[in-house]
């Protein structure tokens, strides 16, 4: 399979980094909006978060889903129905890598299984590191095919190459 590439603006990375700093050492995060340019390239056009009802803890973060859904809806309208929900972002303060936790994998499965999102693939950006020195790791997840041997569809996760645009 061809390597997936996510195009993210330097500005978006800066905004997420600033937000990560603001809540450090607690986790924070939000939602990613954009579009798949083709089968392997995804463009992040905007990032939002956290919402006012998000819950920030040292080792967990709970999204403010209602607030995020409202941002997604307004970007969808503003972009004339081309920019949609493509995934989430959150922080792992003081972590040495952006490795996904068990909770992260469960939430990917929830997103992919949700009827309203109807996504084949979803992104998860993890900013890891320490205050002012955040590094992004990006993952893409999709569900494998179900079979009579394997009724529970497997969660397929792969690393995504980050390309910055200005
Ligand atoms: Zn996480």
Give the H/E segment covering residue 128: strand 122-130
State mean pLDDT over 105-129: 89
In 3D space, the residue among 25, 34, 51, 21 whose CA is nearest the CA of residue 138 turns out to be 34
Distance between Cα 27 and ligand 1 center (Å): 8
How much is the pLDDT for 88?
97
In 3D space, the residue among 95, 125, 107, 114 whose CA is nearest the CA of residue 34 turns out to be 125
State mean pLDDT over 15-28: 96
Distance between Cα 62 and ligand 1 center (Å): 10
Distance between Cα 116 and ligand 1 center (Å): 23
Q: Do residues 89 and 61 touch, judged by C-beta distance below 8 A?
A: no
Distance between Cα 70 and ligand 1 center (Å): 23
CA distance 42 to 25: 30
Q: What is the pLDDT of residues 60-81, one digit of tens each?
A: 999 999 999 999 999 999 999 9
* Domains present along the chain, CATH in parentheses: 5-165 (3.40.140.10)
How much is the pLDDT for 146?
76
Distance between Cα 148 and ligand 1 center (Å): 32
In 3D space, the residue among 46, 48, 41, 45 whose CA is nearest the CA of residue 65 turns out to be 48
How much is the pLDDT for 116?
67
Distance between Cα 59 and ligand 1 center (Å): 8
Whether residue 110 is predicted with pLDDT greater than 80 in this model: the reply is yes
Whether residue 117 is predicted with pLDDT greater than 80 in this model: the reply is no
In 3D space, the residue among 15, 106, 97, 28 whose CA is nearest the CA of residue 63 turns out to be 28
């Amino acid at each position: 399979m061809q390597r997936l590439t996510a195009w993210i603006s330097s500005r978006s990375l800066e905004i997420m980094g600033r937000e990560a700093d603001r809540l450090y050492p607690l986790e924070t995060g939000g939602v990613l909006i954009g579009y798949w340019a083709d089968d392997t390239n995804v463009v992040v056009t905007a990032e939002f978060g956290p919402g006012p009802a998000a819950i920030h803890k040292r080792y967990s973060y709970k999204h403010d889903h209602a607030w995020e859904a409202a941002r997604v809806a307004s970007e969808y309208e503003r972009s004339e129905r081309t920019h949609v929900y493509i995934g989430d972002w959150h922080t792992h303060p003081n972590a040495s890598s952006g490795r996904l936790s068990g909770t992260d994998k469960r939430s990917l499965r929830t997103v992919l299984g949700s009827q309203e999102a109807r996504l084949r693939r979803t992104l998860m950006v993890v900013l890891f590191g320490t205050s002012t020195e955040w590094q992004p790791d990006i993952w893409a997840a999709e569900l494998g095919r179900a079979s009579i041997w394997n009724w529970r569809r497997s969660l397929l996760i792969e690393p995504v190459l980050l390309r910055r645009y200005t």
